[in-house]
Structure 1
Amino acid sequence: MSEKDTTYIGKTSGITPPVFPDSLINEPVQTNPAANVDGLGPLSHLIGTWTNQNLGTTNGGGTASPYSYNIMPLPTGSEASGYILKNFKYYEEITFSPINGTAPNRGGDYIQNANVLFYEQRIYFADGPAKDRLVHAENGSWLFLITGPQSEEPYASTPVVPHNGPIPDQSVATNVAKQISVPHGNSILAQGGIMGYPNSYLQNGPAPIGTYSGTIIPSGIDTTQYTTKSVGNPFPALNNNPNQPLQDGVAANSCAQYIQWGVDTENPAAKGSVTNIPFEKQKANVVDYSANYWLQAFTQGGEFTQLSYNQTILMNIPINGKIVKFPHITCNTLTKK
């Protein structure tokens, strides 16, 4: 989320809640070849649409009381501190959709297959003066990467290019990639892996979401805003542990099994990248992205119907003549439609 406009458009009473469609993506229907589900590995459990709904039999998790939180700084020259906060709870809708094929990366002697899962996301304020207003939109793709033989011809599967010895396996530290397109002029590529893949990635619950371990409050500047309750900081206590809503959601609706993975542009096994348009580079330069996911099922071998995530974006923002690194942190727990 990188919303930077601090003005509210219209009055709260004039904002109507969104009407969510069944799916934010409408892929063409094709029976042969069928949608590539098997090639997605554990990511195939994401296929479908996810929203904020009450978790299990509880009254929490829906649009009125989501297990979510957002911490976001906004640079402003009108404040002595050089910035204000725009922290809030939010709800969202996100659709994951497979395509009818793969995106092979040909290496000459073998290939790397990128099994593709597109996603489309919309996020709305859950509280405050702009409740129900769109605050963020995003699309992109998840890739599940595997290696295999390369065909000699452009369309046929055989014959294949000879390879001396066994084809190397895709590293389990880099077999997942997330490509993000944010309409503020930011593009992000981050890689990672699924914990325990391939032999023991189905873990027994509950999902072990710990206290947020990264930097939350920047250093070297006045940070009084983070501890003072205001319209821009309505939940100061959550600034101590942005993972608290996720922990509360797990406690309210504890799973029997989970799958965990993460991606990071600073993954030492496969460094990713962030690119920004010139205005963003100058005013709020995104330099790093990381995210963690816990996909949850409520019976052994059952369907995965709950998704918790957190993500951290680091931005270099010029504040009163110096560059300050601000963490922009978000988390939410969603239910599959």
Structure 2
Amino acid sequence: MALEQNNPLANLNLSGLEKLEAKPVNKGLKSKFKAEAVQTEPVNLGVLETLVGTWVGPGFNIIEVPNMNQAKPGPPPADKFKIILNSTAETFTFSSIGGDIINRGNAQADIAFQGLHYLQQVDDVNLPSGQNGIHLETGLFLNLPSGTDPAVQPSIARLGSIPHGDSILAQGTFFTVDGPPQFEVADPTPFFIVNGKRVNDTSETYLSQLVNAVPPPGIPKEVIMNPNILLENAIKGQNIIKTVVIFLDANPIDGVATPGATAPVGGITNIPFVNVNANANSLSAIFWIETVQNTDGSTFLQLQYTQTVILDFPVFAPDGSVVEIKWPHISVATLRLQES
């Protein structure tokens, strides 16, 4: 576990709220409040329990951003977008909320669950200290129970806020498997949605910028067109004996969403500037919590994730028409839990 004095979330908690829930307003309502406070099922963090602490490690980030294609006077620039590549160092801190969370029911009985605060900080390792922060996010992970109305299975929810002016609510399933994770291709190619399906834009204008991009020092060239390769490389030679898999989606779309995720699930809300200039409207992520066994039989915990955010910003085609294209923003990392 992380040392408490090094944990910026250590003093955030909701401990004692369950006591407030059970406190009667007056003596005449005493028996009613006592009955409401009774929980028929245990409330715990579930698979989130192993996340508590501070995780650090390297990663990679690729984002395709606008190039003021619609704002410049005269003909639109030849480069419709810019590519930013970052070799990253990341710190991901999780801390227990410290009490049960009660949601009041109407169509069904009340539910109770627990969760974690989180703080994610990502730096570019090739930029000067103090000028290298590229991502900051804070929020909650929640271990949600099943329900009858709506009829849902147990799930994990992630609520996050990003200083660019974005708030996300992503939700999904979880399960445990023996052995290491399986990685699919994380494709950064811009695409259209045609009849509800992803269709990549294969025009030379776009692909040339991706194919010819120069990776940061230490990042293999092939990682640009599939950042998940970096995750595969990180676990080569490791003996991963168990993996907890968590799927998280917000407004999932075909060709990006995790398996089985369909809208409506979660969502993203942005400030007006983001909506107009580079609208972030979909997020899909997979977290793998891995138990790695050393040759002496001891084990340690490792956290890997891949995340794709879809940005929508239109560009002018050669004929002057406006083309709506979706631009993947992909982040990956391999982190280890720091010992106290």
1:283 aligns with 2:274: no
Judge conservation of contact 1:110–1:147 (CA < 8 Å) in 2: no
* 4+ residue segments displaced more than 6 Å: 29-34, 129-132, 167-170, 231-234, 300-303
* Contact kept in structure 1, 2:142 and 2:158, CA below 8 Å: yes
In the alignment, the residues of structure 1 paired with residue 151 and residue 138 of structure 2 have an alpha-carbon distance, to the nearest angstrom, of 26
In the TM superposition, what is the alpha-carbon distance from 1:311 to its structure 2 partner? 0.3
How far does residue 207 in structure 1 lie from its aligned partner after superposition?
Answer: 2.4
Cα RMSD, aligned residues only: 3.2
What SS does the aligned partner of 2:240 have? coil
Q: Map 1:159-178; keep pairs closer than 5 Å.
A: 171-172=152-153, 175-178=155-158
Distance in 2 (alpha carbons) for counterparts of 1:217 and 1:137: 25
Give the Cα–Cα distance (whole angstroms) in 2 for the partners of residues 303 and 99 of structure 1: 27
Q: Give 1:69's aligned amino acid.
A: F
Alignment equivalent of 1:48, drawn from 50, 53, 56:
53
| 1:268 equivalent in structure 2 | 262
| Aligned residue type for 2:267 | S
> Aligned partner of 2:152: which letter?
S
Deviation at 1:104, TM superposition (A): 1.5
The structure richer in strand per residue is: 2
For 1:76-132, what per-residue CA distance to the aligned partner results, in whole angstroms no more than 9, with x for missing partners? 237422211101210111110111212221113412224221101110002367897
Following superposition, the deviation at residue 318 of structure 1 comes to: 2.2
* Residue ranges of structure 2 left out of the alignment (5+ in a row): 19-41, 192-200, 253-260, 317-321
Moved more, 126-135 or 253-262: 126-135
Identity of aligned residues (%): 28
Measured in 1, the distance between the counterparts of 2:336 and 2:307 equals 18
Cα 1:215–1:50 shift into 2, 3 Å? same
- Tell me if 1:74 matches 2:65: yes
How many residue pairs end up in the alignment?
275
Q: Kindly tell me: are residues 132 and 305 of structure 1, through their superposed partners in 2, closer, same or farther at Cα, counting changes over 3 Å?
A: farther
User: Residue type of the partner of 1:257?
Assistant: K
Partners of 1:132 and 1:254 lie apart in 2 by 37
**For the structure 1 residues 291 and 231, does the alpha-carbon distance in structure 2 shift closer, same or farther, using more than 3 Å as the test?**
closer
Tell me if the contact between 2:186 and 2:228 (Cα under 8 Å) persists in the aligned partners. Answer: no
2:88 equivalent in structure 1: 90
Query: Given that residues 89 and 127 in structure 1 are in contact (C-alpha distance below 8 angstroms), is that contact kept between their aligned partners in structure 2?
Result: yes
Decide whether the 8 Å contact of 1:177 with 1:263 is kept in 2: yes
Deviation at 1:29? 7.8
Structure 1 match to 2:243: 258
Deviation at 1:242, TM superposition (A): 1.2
Q: Provide the residue aligned with 1:9 in structure 2.
A: none
2:310 matches 1:314: yes
Q: Decide whether the 8 Å contact of 1:86 with 1:232 is kept in 2.
A: no
1:145 touches 1:170 (CA, 8 Å); kept in 2? Answer: no
In the alignment, the residues of structure 1 paired with residue 301 and residue 8 of structure 2 have an alpha-carbon distance, to the nearest angstrom, of 18
Give SS of 2:284's match: strand
Whole-angstrom CA distance in 1 between matches of 2:275 and 2:169: 17
- The equivalent of 2:206 in structure 1 is 222
Other-structure match for 1:334: 335
User: Secondary structure at 1:115's aligned position in 2?
Assistant: strand
One of 35, 39, 47 as aligned partner of 2:44: 39
Matches of 1:213 and 1:124, distance apart in 2: 21
- Amino acid aligned to 1:275: T
* Matching of residues 77-156 of structure 1 within 5 Å: 77=68, 79-108=77-106, 109-127=108-126, 133-146=132-145
* Native 8 Å contact 1:211 1:244 kept in 2: no
Q: SS in structure 1 opposite 2:97?
A: strand
Shift of 1:222: 2.8
- 3-state DSSP class of the match of 1:100? coil
- In 1, Cα distance between equivalents of 2:264 and 2:300: 28
Seen in structure 2, the aligned counterparts of structure 1 residues 83 and 29 have a Cα distance that, compared at 3 Å, is: closer
Q: Which residue of the other structure, out of 141, 162, 166, is the alignment partner of 1:182?
A: 162
- More divergent stretch after superposition (84-93 vs 227-236): 227-236
Cα distance in 1 for residues equivalent to 2:272 and 2:103: 31
What is the CA–CA distance in structure 2 between the aligned matches of 1:42 and 1:216, rounded to whole Å? 33
CA distance in 2, matches of 1:260, 1:100: 24
1:31–1:262 distance in 2 versus 1, CA, 3 Å: closer
1:319, CA displacement in angstroms?
A: 1.9
1:32-84 deviation digits (Å, cap 9, x = unpaired) = 789xx9611011100000011xxxxxxxxxxxxx3x22110121237422211
Instruction: Give how far 1:263 is off.
Output: 0.9
Contact 2:186 2:227 in 1 (8 A): no
Give unpaired runs (5+ residues) of structure 1: 1-20, 53-65, 149-166, 196-200
SS at match of 2:230: helix
Q: Taking structure 1 as reference, are residues 292 and 326 closer, same or farther at Cα in structure 2, changes over 3 Å only?
A: same
Structure showing greater Rg: 2
Amino acid in structure 2 at the alignment position of 1:71? I
Q: Give the Å deviation of 1:323.
A: 2.4
Q: 1:286 to 1:232 in 2, by over 3 A?
A: farther
